Amino acid sequence: MPRPILATVHLCALRHNLERLQRAAPDSRLWAVVKANAYGHGLERVFPALRAADGFALLDLAEAERLRALDWRGPILLLEGCFEARDLELCSRLNLWHVVHCEEQIDWLAAHKTHQPHRVFLKMNSGMNRLGFRPAALRSAWARLNALPQVDEISLVTHFSDADSARFGTDGIAHQLEAFAAATSDLPGERSLCNSAATLRHAARELGSGALSADWVRGGIALYGSAPDHPEHRSADWQLQPAMTLASRLIAVQQVEAGESVGYGSTFIAPATMRIGIVACGYADGYPRHAGSGTPVLVRGVRSQLVGRISMDMLAVDLGPAEADAPPCQIGDEVVLWGRSRHGALLPVDEVAQAAGTIAYELLCAVAARVPFALDESEPATVAAAA
C-alpha cells in the first residue's frame, strides 16, 4: 500500500467560504485569489468549487494559462502585474487584467503593440510600503496611463497592512483609508480595497460616499477556511470551514519509560511511563520542522500533541500514560495534522500554525509534492473543535 499520508480538499467547504465572503460584501464583486497554486490546494482542484466567483486573481502567467485551459472566460487579474515587457503579449492573448505598480510597467505598456486595449488596476502605496505609487505620484501615473491608446479602463487598488488588527486606530486601516480617499477622490474607475481580513471585519463600513468594500473585494486565505485575524477570531467565529485536511496514520506504537527521550536531539524527556505513536508525516511532507512538543494533533478524533523533534518522514505524538485501562491505539489509527477527523472532530490549521510559530498560509502552501491529494465532495458533518 502507499504511504498513508493524504491531503484532502473539501469542495463543499470552498463553496461555503466563497458564499460567506460574498455575503460579507453583497454589493461588491469578488476576486477568488488562487495564487501559489490556490494556497497549496491545487488550482485545478479548487476551480470547480470557486467558479461562482466574479474573477480570479493570481501572480503567475502560467497559472493564468491553466485557468483559461479550464475554460474560464471571465476576468483574471495579475496581482503583481507584468514582470517584463513581453508579458504584455500574453496578457493580450489571454485577455488578462493586470496591476500597474511602477513607472517601468507604464513604459512597457507605452511601447506595447496591441489591437486590444488593456484593463489595468493602478496600485497605490497607501502605507503597506511594498508595491504601488505613493499618493503624491499617483495622479501622474494615472495621467500617463489615461493618455495611452494601449490602455482601456483604469481601476484603482490598494492593500491594507493591518486589516487584521487594531493598530493605527480604526482596526488598523484608518490611516490607509484616509490616504487612499484623499489621493483618489475625484478619479474615475472601479476600486478594490478589501482583502479577506478587511472584507470580514470592515466591508460594511462606509468610505466617503460608498462602501469600504467598493467594487471588488479580494478573497484569499478565508476562502480556504483560515481566520485572517487569528487568534483574535477563530475560523468558526467567521463561519468558515476548513478546505484542507492533512491526515496520516500511526505506523508504530512505543512505550517509553520515565527519563527516556524521544527523537533527534533528545528534546523531549518522558516525565513518566507513556505511550508514543509514530506518524507517517515529516518535514519532507511540508510539516514544519520547527513545530515543537505540544503542537496539537488529533488521534482517532481526540486531541493530543506532538512530542520531540520533527524528522524528515516521521513525527511522534503522545498517546497517554501506559495504563492497563487506557484506550488502545494501534497501527493504522487516523492522525489528523490539521482539518477534519473522520471521527467528527476539527483541528483548525490556525491553531497548528500558532503553536508552530507561523501562520496558516505557510502550512497550507508548504504541503510537499510527494503528498497525494484527494477531493471530497461530501457535505461536512456537524463538527466542533476538539477540546
Catalytic: which of 35, 39, 123, 283?
35
Is 19:49 a contact under the CB 8 Å cutoff? no
Q: What is the DSSP string of 257-305?
A: -TT-EESGGG-EE-SSSEEEEEES--GGGT--TT--TT-EEEETTEEEE
C-alpha cell recorded at residue 143 = 495621467
Q: Is 1 annotated as a binding residue?
A: no
Scanning the chain, the segments in alpha helix (DSSP H) are 11-24, 35-39, 43-50, 61-69, 87-94, 103-111, 135-146, 174-184, 196-202, 349-355, 360-365
- Residues in contact with 196: Cβ distance below 8 Å, sequence separation at least 6, in sequence order: 21, 218, 219, 220, 221, 222, 223, 228
Three-class DSSP category at 13? helix
Catalytic: which of 224, 264, 283, 287?
264
Residue whose cell numbers read 477540546: 387
Closest CA to 225 of 50, 342, 6: 50
Active site residue 264: yes
Is 313:287 a contact under the CB 8 Å cutoff? no
Q: What is the DSSP string of 146-176?
A: HT-TTEEEEEEE---SSTTS-TTSGGG-HHH
* Helix, strand, coil in percent for the chain, rounding step 5: 30, 25, 45
Active site residue 113: no
State the amino acid at position 183 in one-letter form: A
C-alpha cell recorded at residue 292 = 515543537
Largest CA distance in the chain: 81
Residues in binding site for substrate: 130, 312
Active site residues: 35, 264
